[in-house]
A and B are shown apart, each in its own frame.
Chain A
């Protein structure tokens, strides 16, 4: 069982918007920054969002992040078939370890 809770799957049509939630506690999300990673099939994870809502260089503004209390959300607009991937949230936990969500599989119908 992952410390952070994500929905196992989400889906939407091309061009539409989707959100992926990540729920934690005051031991992790509630007091630390959240990152989001995209893992395309058969590849290593790639950073999409850091410090809750910042995008690294090269990440399009179709990807956005937000945090409220002990939950965080990744938003993707203008969905493309190339966005089909697994998405993971991650943050620091008071147990002195980095923790991740179980991952959400995005299907672009």
Chain B
């Protein structure tokens, strides 16, 4: 079955960087894009950006431009999200999510399945 398995929880100090991985299985990795979505404690969902596993094209949320980098390794079917210059308000559960329908315009995207989530805690 289609599955996304994320790396484990991280604790980081303010100003540090974190890199979360998302290993895909059960489908052709390069046929779908991956989005990253985060959820602060007790809060709603916030989209961080998208990467095409086919050609590496990216689209980042404006508020994270310059601090986030999304990459893929097609040899291991793994997507990565790196966030730099961490602040306390970056404390959240970070999810990767695959596009449901494959290569479609952004306006048609929906996300399924989702990874199990990775808790990133930023604290001094």
Contact = CB atoms under 8 A, between A and B. Distances in A.
Contact of B47 (A56, A97, A102): A97
B111 A103 contact: no
B59 interface: yes
B45 A103 contact: yes
Given A2-B44, A90-B45, A97-B61, A35 B117 contact: no
Interface stretch (B67-75, B80-88, B102-110): B102-110
Contact of B110 (A31, A50, A99, A103): A50
Given A44-B117, A47-B100, A97-B62, A90 B44 contact: no
Contacts of A56: 100, 112
Contacts of A68: none
Contacts of A98: 35, 47, 50, 106, 109
Nearest to B106: A92
Interface residues of B, number: 26
B46 interface: yes
B119 to A, nearest CB: 11
B107 A33 contact: yes
A94 B80 CA distance: 26
Closest 7 CB pairs of A and B: A47-B112, A50-B110, A98-B47, A35-B110, A44-B114, A32-B107, A100-B45
Interface of B: 35, 37, 44-47, 50, 59, 61-62, 95, 97, 100-101, 106-117
Interface of A: 2, 31-33, 35, 37, 44-47, 50-51, 56, 88, 90, 92, 95-103
29 contacts: A32-B107, A33-B107, A33-B108, A33-B110, A37-B111, A44-B114, A44-B117, A45-B111, A46-B112, A46-B113, A47-B112, A50-B100, A51-B110, A56-B100, A88-B45, A90-B47, A90-B110, A90-B111, A92-B107, A92-B109, A95-B62, A96-B59, A96-B62, A97-B62, A98-B35, A98-B50, A98-B109, A100-B46, A101-B44
